[in-house]
Structure 1
C-alpha cells in the first residue's frame, strides 16, 4: 500500500497521509482549511513497513482504507507541572 505524506504549514508536526498523491478528495474541506497548503514530504510503501515513528501503522492502514486519509497530530506536550512533580519524586528517591 503506497501512500503520500504531507506536512502542514499551519500546524507544526502535523501530517496528512493519502492513498493517492495530490488526491485530497476524501479530506473534509474544514480539515484542509485548518491544515493549510499541504507540502509533500514523502511517498512510502506501508506494505513493506512494520512500524512508523509516531503513528500506529495498523491504524494508519485502517484509516486510509476506510476514509482515504489519515491525520497524524503531534503527541500532547507534557505539562510543566507534571514534569516538575516527576523530577521531585525522582530526587526524593
Structure 2
C-alpha cells in the first residue's frame, strides 16, 4: 500500500498519513484545525511485514483503507490530551465541575 506522510507545523512530533497525496478533503474539520499547516515529509510503501518505529503497520494500513488517513501522535499522547483546553467542548471535565 502506497501512502504519503505529512508533519504538522503546529504540533511537534505529530504526523498525518494519507492514502493519496494531498488528499486532505477526507479529514474531519476538527483534525484540520488541530494540525494546522502540514509539510510533506515522506512517501512510503506499507506492507504487513514492514516495521515502523512508533506505529503498528497493521493499524496504519487499516485506517488508510477505511478512512483514507491515519494520525500519528507523539509517544504517550492521546487525541484527548492533544485537544485539551479548559473551554474545549471535547475536553474532559474536572471533578469540581
TM-score of the aligned structures, taking structure 2 as reference length: 0.74
Structure 2 residue aligned with 1:47: 47
Which one scores higher on RCO, CA 8 angstroms, separation ≥ 6?
Answer: 1
Structure 1 residue aligned with 2:31: 31
SS at match of 2:59: helix
SS at match of 2:12: coil
In the comparison of the two structures, how many residue pairs are matched?
Answer: 77
Per the TM alignment, residue 62 of structure 1 is displaced from its structure 2 partner at its CA by 0.3
SS at match of 1:5: strand
**Unaligned stretches of 5+ residues in structure 1:** 78-93
Per the TM alignment, residue 47 of structure 1 is displaced from its structure 2 partner at its CA by 2.7
Does 2:61 match 1:61? yes
SS at match of 1:25: helix
Structure 2 residue aligned with 1:71: 71
